[in-house]
Amino acid sequence: MIRNVIFDIGNVLMDFRWMEYMHSLFGDDNQTIEAVNQAI
Protein backbone atom coordinates (compact mmCIF):
# COMPACT_ATOMS: atom_id res chain seq x y z
CA MET A 1 0.00 0.00 0.00
CA ILE A 2 1.31 3.44 -0.94
CA ARG A 3 1.29 5.75 2.06
CA ASN A 4 3.23 8.77 0.79
CA VAL A 5 3.61 10.52 -2.54
CA ILE A 6 6.33 13.11 -3.07
CA PHE A 7 5.94 15.75 -5.78
CA ASP A 8 9.32 17.16 -6.77
CA ILE A 9 8.42 20.54 -8.22
CA GLY A 10 11.49 22.50 -9.17
CA ASN A 11 13.95 19.61 -9.54
CA VAL A 12 14.95 19.68 -5.87
CA LEU A 13 15.15 15.94 -5.20
CA MET A 14 15.62 14.61 -8.72
CA ASP A 15 16.82 16.20 -11.94
CA PHE A 16 14.40 15.63 -14.83
CA ARG A 17 14.89 17.05 -18.30
CA TRP A 18 11.66 16.50 -20.17
CA MET A 19 12.87 17.27 -23.70
CA GLU A 20 16.01 15.16 -23.36
CA TYR A 21 13.84 12.26 -22.21
CA MET A 22 11.45 12.72 -25.14
CA HIS A 23 14.34 12.79 -27.62
CA SER A 24 15.75 9.61 -26.08
CA LEU A 25 12.41 7.91 -26.75
CA PHE A 26 11.55 9.35 -30.18
CA GLY A 27 14.87 10.56 -31.59
CA ASP A 28 14.48 13.58 -33.84
CA ASP A 29 10.80 12.93 -34.61
CA ASN A 30 9.62 16.37 -33.51
CA GLN A 31 6.09 15.77 -34.76
CA THR A 32 5.63 12.81 -32.40
CA ILE A 33 7.26 14.69 -29.53
CA GLU A 34 4.89 17.61 -30.04
CA ALA A 35 1.88 15.26 -30.23
CA VAL A 36 2.87 13.64 -26.93
CA ASN A 37 3.40 17.04 -25.30
CA GLN A 38 -0.05 18.19 -26.46
CA ALA A 39 -1.67 14.97 -25.22
CA ILE A 40 -0.21 15.40 -21.77
Q: Which tens digits make up the pLDDT trace of 1-40?
A: 999 988 877 777 777 788 888 999 999 999 999 999 899 8
**What's the confidence (pLDDT) of residue 8?**
79
**What's the confidence (pLDDT) of residue 27?**
94
**What's the confidence (pLDDT) of residue 32?**
94
Phi/psi of residue 17, nearest 5 degrees: -110, 100
8: domain range?
A: 1-40
How many domains are there within the chain? 1
- The model carries a pTM of 0.57
